[in-house]
Homo-oligomer: A and B are copies of this chain.
């Protein structure tokens, strides 16, 4: 690898220049592949010295001068969540293949913490930001725009629409899913979700279910609310109910509760919804569910952001929906 046996201090461009008998400028030109007017001889000499010394330019210094850090800030609402993991996987495939690196922060879904972290990213001179916003109002993120920093939203929209958001095709896939379900089999319909208000995705999914079930009414159970578990069991006990779960964690919970209540799926209750794990087929009879293309969403976020950074263009506000896959099994 051309590495010396022991090396303490970083070698600098100056040392390379000295050893090669040229100026820093020339070395810098070499580094930045500006060969257009450079004698093959010097070029070769510099190359040799760089290898001998195992010289690697300091990104810090380059960034300070060139205003490009090759750092991307990523703020996620919960890094331990499977959805987030897959999103990050997709991003890292795009960024790391190129020379970009991600600084990843976990906002815990808390708006104040999120603001703090966003500011830190700006302090760090990141070239762009990918954000899964904890707030639903665009105003919270206006200051990023003011800084002229490219920003792209993951999964969740903010209002009024101001940035490009990339996520699942919630409405379309839910509509397709319900086309496959024989609604007459059910006497009541329930959406189970984490609290709707702060997250556009949850609202959109709820609305899509409402639309799909119309004119039948749709109940909403928000996990964490008073007696929500009991509410599920009550509904399941009263009439044949279809439970639509807004994400994978919720689905796991619902299945657990129904199992404890000794309800048979799909004979006594129906269960469907979003499955972040792609593994509900392990559970019970196999759950008919929506599998999100999470990695591809992550990759798309990264690609779009890079393009915006490199072209210096502002991303067009709006929602880019990546199509989901419906996994038909036997839970409904």
Contacts and interface: CB of A to CB of B under 8 A. Distances in A.
Contacts of A125: 58-60
10 contacts: A56-B123, A58-B123, A61-B64, A64-B64, A82-B82, A88-B104, A255-B282, A256-B281, A256-B282, A259-B282
A41 interface: no
Given A84-B85, A119-B56, A282-B283, A92 B105 contact: yes
Nearest to A89: B80
Number of copies: 2
Interface stretch (A1-9, A43-51, A157-165): A1-9
Interface residues of A, number: 59
Interface string A1-27: 101111110100000000000000000
A321 to B, nearest CB: 22
A146 B4 CA distance: 9
A24 to B, nearest CB: 16
Interface of A: 1, 3-8, 10, 56-61, 63-64, 69, 71, 78-82, 84-86, 88-89, 92-93, 96, 99, 101-106, 117, 119-125, 143, 146-148, 252, 255-256, 259, 279, 281-283, 295
A71 B295 CA distance: 26
A295 B96 CA distance: 25
Given A60-B124, A85-B85, 4 more contacts: A80-B86, A96-B105, A102-B104, A252-B282
A248 B295 CA distance: 21
Contacts of A143: 1, 3
B82 A88 contact: no
B102 A146 contact: no
A189 to B, nearest CB: 24
A62 to B, nearest CB: 9
A161 B314 CA distance: 50
A278 to B, nearest CB: 11
Nearest to A1: B143
